[in-house]
A = this chain, B = another copy of it.
Amino acid sequence: MARKTKEEIAEIYKGIQDHITSQLELHDGEGKFKEDLWQRADGGGGRTRIFENGKVIEKGGVAFSAVHGPTPDKILKKLGLDQADFFATGVSIVLHPKSPMVPIIHMNIRYFEMDNGTHWFGGGIDLTPHYIDPEDARYFHTEVKKVCDQYDPTYYPKFKSWADDYFYVKHRNETRGIGGIFYDRLSATSDSHFENILKFSLSLGRLFPDIYGHFMKKNGAVPYGETEKAWQNLRRGRYVEFNLVWDAGTKFGLDTNGRTESILMSMPPQAEWTYMHEPTPGSAEAFTQQHLKKDIDWLNFHP
């Protein structure tokens, strides 16, 4: 079995984008994605799909891109190379729901290769509930683990812990949410291993709309008031802080003249900042704040 070519991988990822956007439209029932095709001056381009003002999803994007050209200096330097052409393709998603009772979600799958033969896969999926709900947290991590376990029993524990470290808002000493999985620079050691990693990323892509559909359906109609809305806007502010200050993908994109509007589709529709905000002791907000920590076993989270 020969390895899939980069063009084939890009087509497969494009298909994943199609699947996800059509599923999300079904789940939302009202909103429709708008599509932007764009080209990159140095080679390649993308297909950004944006969702605004749906019934459940307030703002979000599902972006596909396949870009190529001379490798950016930052990567060359890290790898100790003088010159090489690169190819990168992937799907990136961030969804901000209208309701504070529905979690924010992020997913990314990507493939990178250089003409010197180097290649790797990366990706992840993580959940940022405005309110941490133990049942939802267990469900999310269980579903993600199931997919991981189909491909490699070491994936979930390794990538779960990587996500805890990656999705960390260092200047706040808190995690972005309840984590999930994160992996990067996963290179294949054989053709079948290559196929295995590729399929793993596809399975994550297939899992995504099922998981989010579940949360949309389960929590979309839960009532909430001004307190919950204010807390949501504060948590959205933290989401902005993580993405603009710490997220490696965002930083790299903005630094290397990426397509700003596609990179910053991750921004919430609205965010708020209040000086020295402290949740009321004993409140649901305080419970959430207390559990924005690394190393929680969400699979067995029964607080």
Contact = CB atoms under 8 A, between A and B. Distances in A.
B273 A272 contact: no
A272 B275 contact: no
A134 to B, nearest CB: 28
Contact of A260 (B171, B263, B267): B171
Interface stretch (A117-125, A147-155, A188-196, A236-244): A236-244
A169 to B, nearest CB: 10
18 contacts: A36-B276, A50-B275, A50-B276, A52-B274, A52-B275, A61-B275, A171-B260, A172-B260, A240-B240, A240-B244, A244-B244, A261-B275, A268-B273, A269-B273, A269-B274, A270-B272, A270-B273, A271-B272
A70 to B, nearest CB: 20
A93 B213 CA distance: 45
A76 interface: no
Contacts of A264: 171, 241, 273
Nearest to A242: B244
A118 B108 CA distance: 47
A287 B3 CA distance: 54
A211 interface: no
Interface in A259-297: 260-261, 263-265, 267-276
A54 B68 CA distance: 52
A245 interface: yes
Contacts of A257: 171
B254 A170 contact: yes
A140 to B, nearest CB: 26
Nearest to A273: B267
A145 interface: no
Most buried by B among A59, A171, A257: A171
A275 B263 CA distance: 11
Contacts of A275: 50, 52, 59, 61, 261, 265
A170 B264 CA distance: 14
A71 B41 CA distance: 43
B269 A270 contact: no
Interface in A151-179: 170-172
A188 to B, nearest CB: 34
- Among A244, A251, A257, which residue has the most Cβ atoms of chain B within 10 A? A244
A203 interface: no
Nearest to A171: B254
B261 A254 contact: no
A233 interface: yes
Contacts of A274: 52, 269
A237 B268 CA distance: 10
